[in-house]
Structure 1
Amino acid sequence: MALQEVGRLLGLFMFCSVLLASNGQQLSPNFYSSSCPDLLSIVQSEMRRAVAAESRMGASILRLFFHDCFVNGCDASVLLDDTGMFIGEKNAIPNAGSLRGDQVIDGIKARVEAACAATVSCADILALAAREGTTLLGGPSWTVQLGRRDATTASLNAANTNLPPPNGTLDVLISLFVSKGFSAREMTTLSGAHTLGFSRCVNFRQHIYSDADIDPAFAAQRRQGCPVASGTGDDNLAPLDPTSPAEFDNAYYQNLMLRRGLLRSDQELFNGGSQDSVVMTYSNNAAAFRVDFAAAMEKMGGMGPLTWPSGQIRLNCRRVN
């Protein structure tokens, strides 16, 4: 009788564990293995198409994921358009005019909905797309935990206050990352995402015209595409890593040691402060950077995920059901 009772309780425990996982209370890389087995192949094929059409898109999707997770967790709130109930995060100062890639996520979502309707969250699609975009540009892979739910609102104020500013000092940057559970070293590691992509003139104008800790030749080169007058050429682009902007490597850190950081916040990582040694390590050891970056990205994916019964599976990533 006792053995039968133990067996019954064990069976009940196993059933409840499966139920919890299916309801999203437990993230797992295999969360959709039964409910949407083609999910990964869909994301991979759509990201291959997007990056082939524009290599910059890999960096844009990675940035989109970062800007989502740093505002109330990885909940796809960044993808929501404005409504009569709230002003979305797309219009926040760090995002307005520069946030890209939401159309790519729309395309992936449409294919996923056709394959397995009302099953996969936009938050999970974005997390997978960020990884795939990175690996397509030569970056490392990492484990993506799945089972998130989507937010039903967004926060313009949180986006304006939680995202690192392009002119931030080292103390400000460290403080922002520590508030999100990251160490100063992890902050420097994640900043290495700037080995990919571009930035707008409005974000680096002050650095190239006003700061002394910048290579003069590099500053002069950047000034050619970024006029000193505010409001003139604000949207002109320059590569964050002028050496290899479409290749995931450690050139970003090598450039910092040469005083060729495009943003004020970039050069702050190598400016006689606490992160100089980390920049030097990554500059000389690309493998160490790759390993640490993958670990930091996996950690970022665990930032405040919504799980059942919170949130919803949005059928359209731009609006609440």
Structure 2
Amino acid sequence: MAKNGILAVLITMVPCFLLVGLTRAQLSVDYYSKTCPNVEDIVRKEMISILSVAPSLAAPFLRLHFHDCFVRGCDGSVLLNSTKDNKAENEAPPNRSLRGFGSVERVKAKLEKACPNTVSCADVLTLMARDAVWLSKGPTWPVSLGRRDGRISIADETMQLPPPTANLTQLIQMFAVKGLDLKDLVVLSGAHTIGTTDCAAIKGRLYNFTGQNNLNDVDPFLDRNYIAKLRSKCSPTDTTTLIEMDPGSYKTFDLSYFKQVAKRRSAFHSDWALLTDSFTRAYVLKHVNGFESEFFQDFAESMIKMGNIGVLTGDQGEIRKKCSIVNY
């Protein structure tokens, strides 16, 4: 990307960083020390129980947190159900494949029993995402707490979510308006080291990529052998079959994702796009060869940063009794 283009993006980021800085000051790691001192232990115990039975839910919990923070900030709005007068975020196309809502309610119910009307769903989701990474053999990090729950969830606002078809310019702009920089972009993309996606999200790379309507019309930046492998699993009409984001290592948080990107075998076009910028490409190639502790530290820092996007604090919002509905 041209230097002038990067400068323009960085200029747009300034107000967002100011916002993040202001909200971070109102969160603290000991926020519930008096009102719910065992909050992290309760969440961790439930997460161990949930993932021992369904380890494939680790990535969905992380994805829920990401999708929550990118729309209205980290306020639990992705967890709200639609009403007769409003279509909520979780019914919008980018969110229809989200999973783990029932588990979030399970953890929230445990906390309601221990500390009624105290811990927000936004904080629950943030803690669950952190523990999902740690229980997948990834890093852990201190989570500042004190988020409040939003009362608004609008399906159309999910247009702010980076699509899997995005190029690097689009990704940089979408991350920048949330106060996240180029390093955050490549680091947080590393979350694709765990989890699956469905054929609906990738078939555009495999069939009719540019509208030519022939079998050779594929994403030219996807490895040809990998195309054949993906086509064996995804037909042109298949939208439900699940594909591992990091084949052979999709339940373990590690460096394998970067190896897949370097080989042009990543599932999303947005993953391949990391190779089109000198900084993000260098980061990918460096971590093909190791430096896991550095990536883990970087990921922890970027997750802390993301978890502070647009949070509600003080007397803003509410503390929901159930995560799927607002209080009445």
TM-score by length of 1: 0.88
Residue aligning to 2:55: 55
Write the distance in 2 (CA, Å) between the matches of 1:132 and 1:208: 35
Describe the shift of the 1:25–1:171 C-alpha distance in structure 2 as closer, same or farther (beyond 3 A): closer
Q: Is the 8 A contact 1:25 1:307 kept in 2?
A: no
Secondary structure of 2:261's counterpart equals helix
CA distances 1:216-257 after superposition (whole Å, capped 9, x unpaired): 1111111111102xxx22011101101300000011001111
Write the distance in 1 (CA, Å) between the matches of 2:49 and 2:266: 31
Residue aligning to 2:8: none
Residue aligning to 1:208: 206
Q: Is the 8 A contact 1:170 1:269 kept in 2?
A: yes
**TM-fit CA distance, 1:56:** 1.3
Residue aligning to 2:124: 125
Write the distance in 1 (CA, Å) between the matches of 2:295 and 2:206: 27
CA distances 1:27-64 after superposition (whole Å, capped 9, x unpaired): 11111111112211110111111111111111110000
Residue aligning to 1:180: 178
Residue aligning to 2:5: none
**TM-fit CA distance, 1:85:** 3.7
Describe the shift of the 1:272–1:310 C-alpha distance in structure 2 as closer, same or farther (beyond 3 A): closer
| Partner residue of 2:163 out of 162, 165, 185 | 165
Secondary structure of 2:243's counterpart equals strand
Residue aligning to 2:259: 254
Secondary structure of 1:275's counterpart equals helix
Structure 2 counterpart of 1:305, which letter?
V
Secondary structure of 2:191's counterpart equals helix
| Partner residue of 2:191 out of 180, 193, 216 | 193
Structure 1 counterpart of 2:102, which letter?
Q
| Root mean square deviation of aligned Cα | 1.4
Write the distance in 2 (CA, Å) between the matches of 1:75 and 1:25: 16
**TM-fit CA distance, 1:86:** 2.0
**TM-fit CA distance, 1:84:** 2.7
Residue aligning to 2:28: 28
Q: Is the 8 A contact 1:201 1:235 kept in 2?
A: yes
Secondary structure of 2:176's counterpart equals helix
Residue aligning to 1:305: 311
Is structure 2 residue 270 aligned with structure 1 residue 270? no
Write the distance in 2 (CA, Å) between the matches of 1:36 and 1:124: 12
Is structure 2 residue 150 aligned with structure 1 residue 144? no
Describe the shift of the 1:151–1:222 C-alpha distance in structure 2 as closer, same or farther (beyond 3 A): same
Is structure 2 residue 103 aligned with structure 1 residue 104? yes
Secondary structure of 1:268's counterpart equals helix
Structure 2 counterpart of 1:103, which letter?
G
Structure 1 counterpart of 2:74, which letter?
C
**TM-fit CA distance, 1:287:** 1.8
Residue aligning to 1:292: 298
Q: Where does structure 1 lack aligned partners over 5 or more consecutive residues?
A: 1-23
Q: Is the 8 A contact 1:188 1:275 kept in 2?
A: yes
Residue aligning to 1:315: 321
Describe the shift of the 1:251–1:25 C-alpha distance in structure 2 as closer, same or farther (beyond 3 A): closer
Q: Is the 8 A contact 1:69 1:301 kept in 2?
A: yes
**TM-fit CA distance, 1:25:** 8.1
Secondary structure of 1:107's counterpart equals helix
Write the distance in 1 (CA, Å) between the matches of 2:276 and 2:227: 16
Q: Is the 8 A contact 1:200 1:238 kept in 2?
A: yes
Moved more, 53-62 or 24-33: 24-33
% identity of equivalent residues? 40
Secondary structure of 2:239's counterpart equals coil
Q: Is the 8 A contact 1:25 1:147 kept in 2?
A: no
Is structure 2 residue 223 aligned with structure 1 residue 224? no
Q: Is the 8 A contact 1:123 1:149 kept in 2?
A: yes
Write the distance in 2 (CA, Å) between the matches of 1:191 and 1:254: 13
**TM-fit CA distance, 1:282:** 2.2
Q: Is the 8 A contact 1:86 1:153 kept in 2?
A: no
Structure 2 counterpart of 1:304, which letter?
G
CA distances 1:49-105 after superposition (whole Å, capped 9, x unpaired): 111111111111000000000001000000000013421100112111x10111111
Secondary structure of 2:192's counterpart equals helix
Residue aligning to 1:3: none
Q: Where does structure 2 lack aligned partners over 5 or more consecutive residues?
A: 1-23, 208-217
Write the distance in 1 (CA, Å) between the matches of 2:25 and 2:319: 14
